[in-house]
């Protein structure tokens, strides 16, 4: 089958389980996302082990956010891993984003706008002047202007950001929930994967709706991944 535009969120502190998740979804998902929990647990060696077992792209989701010099150093430190994507918080500002882009010119520096776990009330309480939509668009523009080649945003901001940044920028969307999945976990601004793709996302991040099936066995997890992939590709 054609790989679906799914980024599998491998959020586990168990390396063997991570390997099994990657194996179970081989040929189904396009990208493997290794986040902060994984990286803190296993470091660069863990990333290399996962990368060696898949031909899917690696999304290193570290959400770097610090002064430009520090972010540049951190980006250079992981450059040898050659991830397709590396996330930085767009709210870190122009100089910080440019520092990451300059440090890793072959990687898609990916600007994270407004976390999908945040509600409009949260956005206001944090101190953003505008609502989530306007804030996300503004952050996306700052990121792209300073070398980011991908943007992370909630499904509800896809259309506005696509219109603002143009067709060449990759939009990656967490906070999607397949129609067959109940609840929204800790996400507050969600759509289905198919709706997100229709609105202009290039990739959708999916974790627990797939990985929770692992408790029923690897075959069950693969079947679940295929079911969701077919839902998107139909």
Active site residues: 63
**For residues 107 and 149, what is the distance between their CA atoms, to the nearest angstrom?**
9
**For residues 224 and 214, what is the distance between their CA atoms, to the nearest angstrom?**
9
Tell how strand 170-173 and strand 203-206 pair up: parallel
Tell how strand 85-89 and strand 57-64 pair up: parallel
Q: Which residues lie below 8 Å from residue 148, measured CB to CB, with a gap of 6+? A: 88, 90, 97, 101, 108, 109, 110, 111, 169
How many other C-beta atoms are found inside a 10 Å radius of the C-beta of residue 217?
12
**For residues 199 and 38, what is the distance between their CA atoms, to the nearest angstrom?**
30
Main-chain phi, psi angles of 167, to 5 degrees: -80, -15
How many other C-beta atoms are found inside a 10 Å radius of the C-beta of residue 111?
30
């Amino acid at each position: 089958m054609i790989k679906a535009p799914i980024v599998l969120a491998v959020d586990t502190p168990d390396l063997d389980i991570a390997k099994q998740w990657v194996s179970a979804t081989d040929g189904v998902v396009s990208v493997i996302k290794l986040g902060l929990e994984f990286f803190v647990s296993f470091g660069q060696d863990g990333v290399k082990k996962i990368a060696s077992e898949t031909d899917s792209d690696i999304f290193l989701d570290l959400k770097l956010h610090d002064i430009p010099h520090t972010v540049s150093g951190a980006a250079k430190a992981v450059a040898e891993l050659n991830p397709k994507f590396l996330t930085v918080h767009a709210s870190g500002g122009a100089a910080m984003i440019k520092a990451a882009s300059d440090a890793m010119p072959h990687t898609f520096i990916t600007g994270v706008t407004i976390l999908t776990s945040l509600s409009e009330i949260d956005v206001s309480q944090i101190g953003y002047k505008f609502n989530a939509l306007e804030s996300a668009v503004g952050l996306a523009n700052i990121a792209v202007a300073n070398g980011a080649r991908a943007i992370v945003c909630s499904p509800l901001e896809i259309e506005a950001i696509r219109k603002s940044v143009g067709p060449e920028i990759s939009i990656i969307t967490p906070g999607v929930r397949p129609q067959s999945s109940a609840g929204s976990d800790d996400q507050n601004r969600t759509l289905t994967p198919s709706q997100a793709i229709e609105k202009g996302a290039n990739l959708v991040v999916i974790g627990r709706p797939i990985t929770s099936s692992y408790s029923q066995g690897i075959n069950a997890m693969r079947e679940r991944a295929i079911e969701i992939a077919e839902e998107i590709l139909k």
